[in-house]
Amino acid sequence: MVITIKSNADKKQFENLLNWIESVGLQINLSEGENYTVVGLVGDTSLVDISLLRSLDIVDSIVRIQEPYKSANRKFHPEDSIIDVGGHKFGGNHFQIIAGPCSIESYDQVLAIAKAVKQAGATILRGGAFKPRSSPYSFQGLGIEGLKMLVEAKRQTGLPIITELMSENFLPYFDDVDIIQIGARNMQNFDLLKAVGKTRKPILLKRGLANTIEEWLMSAEYIMAGGNSQIILCERGIRTFEPYTRNTLDLSAIPILKEKTHLPVIVDPSHASGLSRLVKPLSLASVGAGADGLIIEVHNNPECALCDGAQSLRPEQFDDLVKAVDIMLPIVNKERDKE
């Protein structure tokens, strides 16, 4: 950490700062310039509250040189982490496709989709039982009943399952769930992160709509600090000024994350754009950027005119997408995991 002190800094305050730095066990490396004094802090600075220091009157600027995340940091764990979900691996040269309906509506629906996506090549089944909706008047999901349908579809098809957890109070119902999803709106729900940190299940951690890559890794760090290091990151778009897409998918984040962390990272192109016709181009783009997998919404309601064209793909569109991905994977040295 490097702290720049203003040239006209109060001496007493400067002395207090230096004493405080030493009191927390850090070494000091002073360098005086014409307009500034630069204080280098040597040692473990991950415990230092950078925003407190930044707000001191005598401080001009401050920069953290050592990243604040440790367990998630590739520097201290150079090899890719491999997360195993029922024999299906995330990370390294593995590539997984998760697919399923946005919301679970009925057992017949989820089973039909599960069979269709398994047939097309998906290795894990997704389905929403608890739905985060911005309006209290919107359908909030089937809840525990939906979860039971998803578990039953797992039994029938053999596909491991992933679903979103919105409150730690529902954790007891997640015993048969293979990956617990933490949604974008809960990326900094720290009590929830602590709760899943105590489990020993793989966690899919979605990026918050307005969260930096560093904050995202700090949320992973929360889970790892609890003893659970089975984390899969999921980019799903950030909020920008552009109104034509619901969110702006940040694919630069993929190669950046590959440098910063050993954790696998997948992409959710369905939610990022909100438009089914963008799912295929954004999926191929994700593969090109180096993602470790995709999570795709698929529906199966030929009778439901309203669902057609939504952000979900029909099974035959999903099939077409998987085939295109398969051709691309060798270019990026990945191999799709197959049943």
Which residues in the 153-182 window bind its own copies by CB under 8 A? 166-169
- Contact range with its own copies by CB under 8 A, out of 5-13, 88-96, 111-119, 144-152: 5-13
Structural tokens at position 115: 């069979």
Tell me if 67 sits within 8 A of 35, measured CB to CB: no
Taking CB under 8 A as the rule, does residue 261 contact its own copies? no
Instruction: DSSP for 234-249, please give it.
Output: EE--B--S--SSSSB-
Instruction: DSSP for 168-187, please give it.
Output: GGGGGGGTT-SEEEE-GGGT
Side chain identity at residue 218, one-letter code: M
65 Cβ contact list (under 8 Å, min separation 6):
1, 2, 45
Taking CB under 8 A as the rule, does residue 327 contact its own copies? yes
The residue from 84, 302, 332, 335 that contacts its own copies (CB under 8 A) is 332
The residue from 11, 25, 51, 175 that contacts its own copies (CB under 8 A) is 51
The residue from 25, 52, 79, 338 that contacts its own copies (CB under 8 A) is 52
Find the binding residues for its own copies in span 217-256 (CB under 8 A).
218-219, 221-222, 225, 238-246, 248-256
- Contact range with its own copies by CB under 8 A, out of 145-153, 154-162, 173-181, 273-281: 273-281
Q: How far apart, in Å, are the Cα atoms of 288 and each of 173, 226, 257, 267?
A: 37, 34, 15, 12
Q: How far apart, in Å, are the Cα atoms of 57 and each of 10, 17, 53, 61, 206?
A: 9, 11, 9, 10, 37
Find the binding residues for its own copies in span 118-137 (CB under 8 A).
132-137
Taking CB under 8 A as the rule, does residue 331 contact its own copies? yes
Q: Which is nearer to its own copies, 25 or 169 (CB)?
A: 169
Q: What residue has token string 């398994």?
A: 118
Taking CB under 8 A as the rule, does residue 198 contact its own copies? no
CB of 250 to its own copies, least distance (A): 5
Taking CB under 8 A as the rule, does residue 4 contact its own copies? yes
Q: Which is nearer to its own copies, 155 or 185 (CB)?
A: 185
**Residue 63: what are its φ and ψ, rounded to 5°?**
-140, 135
Spatial distance between the Cα atoms of 180 and 201, rounded to a whole number of angstroms: 7
CB of 126 to its own copies, least distance (A): 18
Q: Which is nearer to its own copies, 25 or 305 (CB)?
A: 305
- Contact range with its own copies by CB under 8 A, out of 107-115, 147-155, 174-182, 325-333: 325-333
Q: Which is nearer to its own copies, 51 or 172 (CB)?
A: 51
Structural tokens at position 45: 């600075």
The residue from 213, 234, 265, 298 that contacts its own copies (CB under 8 A) is 213
Taking CB under 8 A as the rule, does residue 93 contact its own copies? no
Taking CB under 8 A as the rule, does residue 337 contact its own copies? no
Tell me if 201 sits within 8 A of 179, measured CB to CB: yes
Find the binding residues for its own copies in span 274-293 (CB under 8 A).
274-278, 281-290
Instruction: DSSP for 55-119, please give it.
Output: TSTTEEEEE--S-S-STTBGGG--SPP-EEETTEEESTTEEEEEEE-SB---HHHHHHHHHHHHH
Taking CB under 8 A as the rule, does residue 25 contact its own copies? no
Taking CB under 8 A as the rule, does residue 305 contact its own copies? yes
Of the candidates 54, 27, 17, 76, which has an alpha carbon nearest to the alpha carbon of residue 229?
A: 76
- Contact range with its own copies by CB under 8 A, out of 63-71, 82-90, 91-99, 110-118: 63-71
The residue from 20, 22, 200, 227 that contacts its own copies (CB under 8 A) is 20
Residues present in the chain in total: 339
Tell me if 239 sits within 8 A of 88, measured CB to CB: no
